[in-house]
Structure 1
Amino acid sequence: MSDGFTLRKKAILIALNSDTPDKSPKGYVDEPLLPLIMLVNSHKDYVTTSSCSGRICTYLEGLNESSAIELKQQQRSEPQEDSNHNTDRRSKDKEEEEEEEEEEEEEEAQIAAGYAENTSLAAVEAAKRAKGGQWLYVSHESIVITPEQDSRDQHWIIDTLFGSEAHRVVLMEDAMGDRTADMAKAQLVYFKFEPMILHIEAATPTAAKTFLNHSLFSGYRNSGILPSAKRTMLAIRSTLKIDAPIAYIPSTASSAHAATTTLTSMNTIVEPEPKIHLIVSLSYLRLLIEMSNDKFRMNTAQMSRFEKRLTEHLKEESDKSAKKGDQGEWEDKDARRERKRREGLLKQQEAAKARARVPKQEEMLTEQPIPSSPQDKQIEQ
């Protein structure tokens, strides 16, 4: 175990026990995960670095890279009211270079976030393209559907999933024209169900493999060891996931709105916000909600099984020195029980053989004549 791991674990545990909000949007650990996090952190070889107990959310992605470039060119081509904007071209170039450096740093951070969430190439590319996305709705619990909601129209779904942006939503039935036109460049809105995810740092690669095995046996088939040169990191994930596009903002509308927004401070021009066009029906959104509620129940049951397995195995593995096998290798619970059973049988057999040898030795002593000494021979003569 390295000193770096020990120090990082100590700092994380201090932060978890403090009242200061963490860096997550919620600011604190999800309550359903607390028992599992405490269990993992009680083991000397592991510490949790981030977690989520599961969530239903809608997400408006940011402008893709091509739209951002078009918008930047459009802004540069607009006439400026400041007559001195070309007086210092070197200063302008320097500002552009600084902006590009900031964009590169932001892109690197987004790529790292993509690896943390999903190590697939597609996820990394999606992280690279994202420019200022927006969470419209996030819930770490299932969505309760009341009888009152069932009895009236389903527009409550729009209010729930789109939150403060619900007034911008255009129903699929009310949309005009070809909805598929230009959607490749549009900002999409995604409905997501994301199951429990747990990021863990392990003290050694061997410890990471042991934890990974427990995770896979507990049903977290999408788990793995993350690539890192400095730390041994694990991502514990299941396949209980929904990720479906449900709406979009046309690229022309979003670019025009962004451009007028940048000019608002100078020209005081206020343009109406671009509409969010649904590409699915309300009944389909209702289906997604019900499917997510079912997956929430499956997610909770899976977490319970995982906690039970870790309780049985990790606590016993915390003192591995008492569990060495005949060749010095580490044993799991079943292997140790089998070894102890064999050792007990062997001891019983050896004890039985020892008891069987004792009567034979006594019998041999009674049958053999006692040899006479020279003194006895002289007395007989």
Structure 2
Amino acid sequence: MSKQPKPLPHPSQNFTQRKTKILSQLSVPEEEYTDLSPKGSVDVGIRDLIDEINARDGLVTTSSCAGRVSVYLEGPCKSTTSATASNEDDEAGVRSSSAGGKGGGEWLFVSHDPISTLSVELEKGYEGLFGLRPLQGREGEEQEEGRMVHFKFEPMILHVLTASHSHAQKVIQAGMEAGFRETGAVSLLSRQDEDHNPIVAVRSMGLSFESLIGVEDGAGTRKAVVGSGYLNRVVNNSEKLFKENEKRIGRFREALKAAFEEGSKKKEGWEDADARRERKRLEGLRRKEELQRQKEVETKAGDDGVQSSLEVILEPPEVL
């Protein structure tokens, strides 16, 4: 007999209260809902996924981003030699960046959809879309000091509050299977405390992409430091990353559904070791019976052939 999976613990009162509070905030009409992220609301691209997660006992999302492309001007307190912006998500539901406000930086462009879908905005060209003056001269010639302008693609990231270590492990398993390789618990105690609710971050740094594309000089003029051809390449790369990100989100939805399927961890078409052994045994018996029947048919056919030959030889010749 195959071993039945251990049932998940029942969510504690503390978790239930926290989930109720979070869901009450998400139930606000979309036109009225705001958070501290640049967009200010839950991304349409993963709204169905968020609803599916929040419908499960023992899970509730605390922050989310479907994936985005952004252009930002780093803050004055940030080293101009750094090519990486600090991104942190907290339980309040925000994805923030030092380049987006904490360090005095400024978002020049943010989209949670591929840039190719922004037909009206694209009429201004990439430089105009990103708020940059086109490159003057050749790439690499401008060595002007100033705050750098970054182009960045970030894949989906979710923070999921879980009712127990067991719930957290299932979310981590689903994230890893879907390709979000850096998925893990960001709030986890070593003891199995029923009042402890681990937070799982579903994320993948492997899909992230960043490039320096501009600079703001001392006069406040924002200039591109790369040509139109280079901007076209980084935008095309972000389009490919959006597509891969969408595939992984789909895989995560299926993996999460399979991980929390009632009474079993089985995926469609999967069988445990005992079931596989029984199937192989029955298949072996069927093959043995088929071979036996085939042998009997061949033997009978051979006997009939010999008998017919003897009848021809022993039959007396016709009298003419």
Per the normalisation by structure 1, the TM-score is 0.56
**For residue 24 of structure 2, what is the amino acid of its counterpart?**
I
CA deviation profile, 1:123-181 (whole Å, cap 9, x unmatched): x9968x9521111111111122799999xxx961111122xxx4xx2514279x96335
State whether structure 2 residue 119 is matched by structure 1 residue 173. no
| SS at 1:190 equivalent | strand
1:15-94 mapped onto 2 (5 Å cutoff)? 15-19=25-29, 20-23=32-35, 24-64=37-77
2:63–2:89: 8 Å Cα contact kept in structure 1?
Answer: no
Superposition RMSD on alpha carbons, in Å? 3.8
**1:139 aligned residue (111, 135, 144):** 111
1:212–1:234: 8 Å Cα contact kept in structure 2?
Answer: yes
1:107-256 mapped onto 2 (5 Å cutoff)? 114-116=87-89, 131-144=103-116, 156-162=125-131, 166=132, 169-173=133-137, 179-180=142-143, 182=145, 186-227=146-187, 231-238=197-204, 239-250=206-217, 253=218
**For residue 57 of structure 1, what is the amino acid of its counterpart?**
S
1:228 CA displacement: 6.2
- Give distance in 2, aligned partners of 1:187 and 1:204: 45
CA deviation profile, 1:264-316 (whole Å, cap 9, x unmatched): xxxxxxxxx521232211110011111111111111122112212222332x1
Residues 1:137 and 1:46: Cα distance change in structure 2 (over 3 Å): same
**For residue 295 of structure 1, what is the amino acid of its counterpart?**
L
**For residue 26 of structure 1, what is the amino acid of its counterpart?**
K
- Give distance in 1, aligned partners of 2:27 and 2:221: 44
**For residue 37 of structure 1, what is the amino acid of its counterpart?**
I
How much identity, in percent, do the aligned residues show?
29
**1:14 aligned residue (24, 33, 36):** 24
Residue 262 of structure 1 corresponds to: none
Residue 368 of structure 1 corresponds to: none
Residue 241 of structure 2 corresponds to: 295
- Give distance in 2, aligned partners of 1:205 and 1:146: 42
| SS at 1:173 equivalent | coil
Higher deviation after alignment, 232-241 or 189-198: 232-241
Residue 297 of structure 2 corresponds to: none
1:65 CA displacement: 5.9
- Give distance in 1, aligned partners of 2:188 and 2:34: 23
Residues 1:148 and 1:237: Cα distance change in structure 2 (over 3 Å): closer
State whether structure 2 residue 223 is matched by structure 1 residue 277. yes
- Give distance in 1, aligned partners of 2:34 and 2:150: 26
- Give distance in 2, aligned partners of 1:145 and 1:41: 30
**1:2 aligned residue (12, 15, 25):** 12
CA deviation profile, 1:203-233 (whole Å, cap 9, x unmatched): 1122212210111011111222114677411
Residue 5 of structure 2 corresponds to: none
1:170–1:275: 8 Å Cα contact kept in structure 2?
Answer: no
Residues 1:274 and 1:115: Cα distance change in structure 2 (over 3 Å): closer
1:50 CA displacement: 1.2
1:170–1:276: 8 Å Cα contact kept in structure 2?
Answer: no
CA deviation profile, 1:82-135 (whole Å, cap 9, x unmatched): xxxxxxxxxxxxxxxxxxxxxxxxxxxxx9x84438xxxxxx9968x9521111
Moved beyond 6 Å, runs of 4+: 124-127, 145-150, 342-345
Rg larger for: 1
**For residue 221 of structure 1, what is the amino acid of its counterpart?**
R
Residue 306 of structure 2 corresponds to: none
1:61–1:130: 8 Å Cα contact kept in structure 2?
Answer: no
1:155–1:282: 8 Å Cα contact kept in structure 2?
Answer: no
**For residue 180 of structure 1, what is the amino acid of its counterpart?**
Q
1:172–1:280: 8 Å Cα contact kept in structure 2?
Answer: no
Count of paired positions: 250
Residues 1:338 and 1:187: Cα distance change in structure 2 (over 3 Å): same
2:148–2:215: 8 Å Cα contact kept in structure 1?
Answer: yes
1:4 CA displacement: 2.3
Gaps of 5+ in 1: 68-110, 118-123, 254-272, 324-330, 346-381
1:66 CA displacement: 8.0
**For residue 156 of structure 1, what is the amino acid of its counterpart?**
G
Residues 1:333 and 1:155: Cα distance change in structure 2 (over 3 Å): closer
State whether structure 2 residue 272 is matched by structure 1 residue 338. yes
